[in-house]
Structure formats: structure tokens, C-alpha cells
Structure 1
Amino acid sequence: MKAISYARYGGPEVLGLGEVDDPSVGPDSVLVKVRAAAVNPVDWKCREGYLDSVLKPVFPVIPGWDVSGVVVRPGVAVPEFAAGDEVIGYVREDMLSRGTFAEYVAAPVRTLARKPRGLSFEEAAGLPLAGLTAYQVLRRVLGVGRGETVLVHAAAGGVGSIAVQLAAHLGARVIGTASERNHDFVRGLGGEPVTYGEGLTERVRGLAPEGVDAVFDSVGGDALKASANLLTPEGRLASIADPEVVTYGGHYWFVRPDPQDLQRLSDLADQGTVTIHIAKTFSLEEAAEAHRLNQEGRTRGKIVVRVS
């Protein structure tokens, strides 16, 4: 099969298209014909070796954790899916090896859910990792509830745009940091936009003089420090970008596969509660360029690679 892979750590130039062996399907896995795979910041961080202490590579590595596609064959211990079922997945294992930038992927059943019927394969590919991250932080870590005020950083990005929609669905008032050009986009998601950068604390206080009940940080650094100063006395803080959040009494979160959470997200997408904005779509042959664009960190929504 055709796949994108890299045999050493490095920049986007280490990615190459070639032929690799078809994946083997274990009892608890599903062979999926990949239709589309999304790009996430963690992909280039893995490619450059920043997660080496957490996820050891088995070179050559096929990158990619997000997938949408069609079941070809379920494993012998998988009654949940049948050939022809359309699925989405956050296909992460405990090492870097066989990812989703390939014609086929063997996905553990614990990583899969049924694809939202109302989304294209490209849109659906953008839901799993970003959606699970947003859902798990808001529900499990921050416990956001009706009537609360939530600050979401990078509100126009892949994770942030879904977090704004989910927090609004939970009945919260959402303030979202974004560049000026993305303010209308954030409003369309259900958030109140504020420009990030110098003076952020004052701008947020202008909207929420008493502070915010919860902060969802995906930026770290100065934004994280400002966030800690914006909390109400009982406020909660979580970051997916900066482990230093614990020094402010907050929680650091690394998303995990969960089929129930993912199916809930799929259902919310079918209900129109969650939409996925595609910034740009690339072919498999253009995967390196997709990585470059994602690494710049200025895109609105998701970057997707169309495989078939």
C-alpha cells in the first residue's frame, strides 16, 4: 500500500511517499480503508522527536492519528463493526509506528466510532483528536456547567473551535481569544472574541469583571500566566500545551482514545451541535506541505489530507 513515512526525526522534508506492507489485523482491531486523515500539532512534534520520552518510535514511522474511512475487515473479536461501515478514529497506540497517513490502517476497536452521517469524510477526519481533547477537558477536567463563564484560548484553531461549540452547548458563556481576522468566525461558533497578546487580562476583565469560572488553555506561556490571574476564587484551569499549569493549581491533559466519548461527539455532529471547519485539504502526496502549514500555527480550523 502507499503511505507517508519518515525514517528519522526532522522537519517536513523527512516525510516521503512510498510502498509499505499492508497492516496486519489483530483480534481486537479493524482494517480501515482510509478516506481522509487530519493533521494535528502533535504530528509534527512527534516527527521532530519532542515526544520521544513518551512515545518511542519504530522507524519507519507512518504519521497521523486522526482517520475517517470504511471498514474492510473487522478482527475476529470485534462484533461492533462490519465490512462497509463508515468510521472515524483517534488511532493512537503506545508507540509511533503505523499511523493514518496511509491507504489502510489497522485500528484498535477502542479507538473507533461510527462516522457522523452529515459530515464529509474530510470533515469527519477533523473530529476525533481535536473533538476528544475539547470534550474531555470540558467535561472530565473542568466540569463546565450551565451559567458559567469559560475562557478558551486559540478559539479559532482545531481544538479551540470545537471547545467553543461544546462549552456553549453545555450552557456556558464562552470568551475566546483569537486574532482580529477570526473574530467573526468565533462569534459564529457561539463565543465572544477577544484579541490575544499584550493587554489580554484587561480585555477579558472588560467582558467578565468578576473573572472567569474556567480556562481552557492550548497556548501556554504568557497566556497561561494571564489565565491564572483571571480566575474567580473557585475557578478551574486546564492546559493541553504547557505542563507548567500545575504550578498554578491547574491540570495538564493529554487526550486519550475513548469510543464512548468519540461516539458522543459523532452524535453531536449529526445533530448540528458541532461543526468542523476545514482550512485546507491536501493530497497524500502533499503531506509534507500539510505538516508545514500546520506547524505555522495560524490556520482556522483543521488541515486535512485526502487519501482516497
Structure 2
Amino acid sequence: METLGGPEVLRLEDVADEPHAGPGQVRVRVRAAGLNPMDWVIISNEEIAARFGISLPTGFGFDFAGVVDEVGEGAEGFAVGDRVFGGALSRAVADHVVVTLSADQLLHTPDAVDDVTASTLPVAAATAAAALAAARVGDGDTVLIGGAAGGVGVFAVQLARLAGARVLATSSEGSFEFLRGLGAEPIRYGEGLVDRVRAAAPDGIDAATDLYGTETAYAALALDVPAERISTIAAQDPDLHVQATGGTDAEPGTLDHIASLVAEGRLVVPIAAQYPVEQIREAVELQAGRHVRGKVVVTL
């Protein structure tokens, strides 16, 4: 990318110099890249890009999965041919990504998990786990999850259910059956949310996480949920004093654990759409619309 902006600035380029793994690095032949809202938000303007240390020219995307095809000196724990997944800020959508093991994220992909599925895990799964941990969701709780049908929500719903919680999930009515399939009890978002939640859970709710904005967090406060048991991941409200969190707060080992759950068939990853890399703009436009049920993946 030579300019910042929306999906319209994305274009494929042939790079003259092929990247190679140096000391402490691993090169991955990328097979799939999972998309996240942060990908297009980061490139939207100079202020946000600078906040993440991004300068032009730059690549695109964070989550990837593929096969190791070069291992640099001192890069222990990986060998050529290993299937892997991980994250590389604004570099994931490319034929190859060079990962510095001391700075980037790289994990082994379980045999039973395909590359498309593995590419969806780094940001969304870690963020979901962190959001539930910040709200201290556990066995016997009734938890309200806002934005539950999105890329983070599909993980949060299932992880909460695996923890033994009852899940009330906000969404549009068009996503109700989808969420029921994940084990949640859907509730329409928007005006009157507090009353609808109160009717669904007359004994109250114990915790909440807002994965979209602030509506669910404010509803939880109105329902007398303690602020320390309400988490947000995308709130832009200085007056909302709850637990702000994100994927970087996830406990060590979280992604390995979630990948194991996927491999065992205990957690499913709904793939809303797959696009070849030649249709990267269309993929990002769909994902940026924020009405996708599950994850959008670009394949290479």
C-alpha cells in the first residue's frame, strides 16, 4: 500500500526482492489470512497508523496461517515443513511473511485444524478469551454478550458456554438462528434492550462483555452488574468505567488451548466467506460492513 484509506486503496503488487529469514526469524508461505476490524481501521488514516507504528509503504492484515519454508539461525522450535499460524502486523496478506520469534506471534497448527480455520484464531480468539477473563465469566454465571454474531463474538459465546455459563447474546433478528446454533439465547439489540434482558433473565445477569461498542455495557450497568464484571474491547467513551481489554491481555497459552478445542471439535469457527487474494478489496468491504456472521478469510 502506498496510501492510507479505505478498501479502495488496497492493491496487489509484485515485490522485486523476496524476503528471507534472518537470525531468529522464520519465513512462512502464507496459505490463508483471516480478516479483523483492526486491519482496515489501522490503515484508515495517518493518526491511527502512527499509533500502531505503521508507515508507508505498508502491507495489510495481521492473522495468517501457512507452512514454514525457511528457518534462520537461532530460530528454535520450528522446522521447514511445519504448519503454523500467528500474527504479523500489517504484513499477513502476502505470499511470504517473515516472523521474528522474539517479537511476533507464531504457533504450531494442530493436524486436525485446516489453514483457513487456523488463520482466524490469533486476534479474535485471543480477544474473546481476554474479554471473558476480564469479566470473570465462569461456571453457573449468566453472561450478556454484545455483538455476539461477529468474528470475536462467535468465540466468546462458545468459550463462555464451555466455561459453564448461560449466554444471552445481542444481535439483529437475522442472526438469531445462527446464535442458537452456537448455544446462545439471542436478544435483539437496540432500544428496549434492558427490558428484554430483564425479561429473559428475571434473576439477573452476573457479567457482561461488549464486543461492538457501549450499548451492552451500559445495559449491564442499568441491570446492576458491577463495573468490575463488565468488559469492553472497542469502547470509545471516557465516561464508561468498566474493564477495557483486548487480545494482548490474553493469558499465555490461550491460543494453543483454543486451537486444541477446535481440533477436538469442541469449538467451531463459522467461516462467513472466503475470497482469493485477487479479491482482497471485496473481502475487506464485506468485513468492514460489520454485519458478517463469523469470519472472513483471504486465501493465497
Instruction: Kindly indicate whether residue 281 of structure 2 is the aligned counterpart of residue 288 of structure 1.
Output: yes
What is aligned with 2:75? 78
Contact 1:217 1:239 in 2 (8 A): yes
Deviation at 1:234, TM superposition (A): 7.2
Tell me: CA distance 1:254–1:23, structure 2 relative to 1, closer, same or farther (3 Å). Answer: farther
What is aligned with 1:3? none
What is aligned with 2:5? 10
Contact 2:6 2:43 in 1 (8 A): yes
Deviation at 1:259, TM superposition (A): 6.3
Structure richer in strand, relative to its length: 1
Q: Which residue identity lines up with residue 242 of structure 2 in the other structure?
A: G
In the alignment, structure 2 segments of 5+ residues that lack a partner are none
Corresponding pairs, count:
295
Deviation at 1:296, TM superposition (A): 0.8
Q: Which residue identity lines up with residue 67 of structure 1 in the other structure?
A: F
Once the two structures are superposed, the pairs formed by residues 198-217 of structure 1 within 5 Å of their partners are 198-217=191-210
Q: Any idea what SS the aligned residue of 2:191 has? A: coil
Q: TM-score, normalising length from structure 2?
A: 0.92
Instruction: Kindly indicate whether residue 19 of structure 2 is the aligned counterpart of residue 27 of structure 1.
Output: no
Question: How many Å separate the matches in 1 of 2:113 and 2:81?
Answer: 17
Match of 1:236 among 226, 229, 233: 229
Q: TM-score, normalising length from structure 1?
A: 0.90
Once the two structures are superposed, the pairs formed by residues 85-234 of structure 1 within 5 Å of their partners are 85-92=82-89, 96=90, 99-109=91-101, 110-139=104-133, 141-233=134-226
Q: Which residue identity lines up with residue 125 of structure 1 in the other structure?
A: S
Tell me: CA distance 1:112–1:230, structure 2 relative to 1, closer, same or farther (3 Å). Answer: farther
CA deviations 1:90-129 (Å, max 9, x no partner) are 223xxx5xx1110000123351111132232112211221
Question: How many Å separate the matches in 1 of 2:274 and 2:99?
Answer: 23
Deviation at 1:25, TM superposition (A): 2.3
Deviation at 1:81, TM superposition (A): 1.2
Tell me: CA distance 1:243–1:53, structure 2 relative to 1, closer, same or farther (3 Å). Answer: farther
In the alignment, structure 1 segments of 5+ residues that lack a partner are 1-5
CA deviations 1:261-286 (Å, max 9, x no partner) are 21111111112122111111111111
Q: Any idea what SS the aligned residue of 1:58 has? A: coil
Tell me: CA distance 1:117–1:229, structure 2 relative to 1, closer, same or farther (3 Å). Answer: farther
Contact 1:228 1:248 in 2 (8 A): no
Q: CA RMSD in A?
A: 1.9
Deviation at 1:299, TM superposition (A): 0.7
Contact 2:227 2:242 in 1 (8 A): no
Tell me: CA distance 1:101–1:207, structure 2 relative to 1, closer, same or farther (3 Å). Answer: same
Identity %: 38
Contact 1:91 1:108 in 2 (8 A): no
Contact 2:130 2:246 in 1 (8 A): no
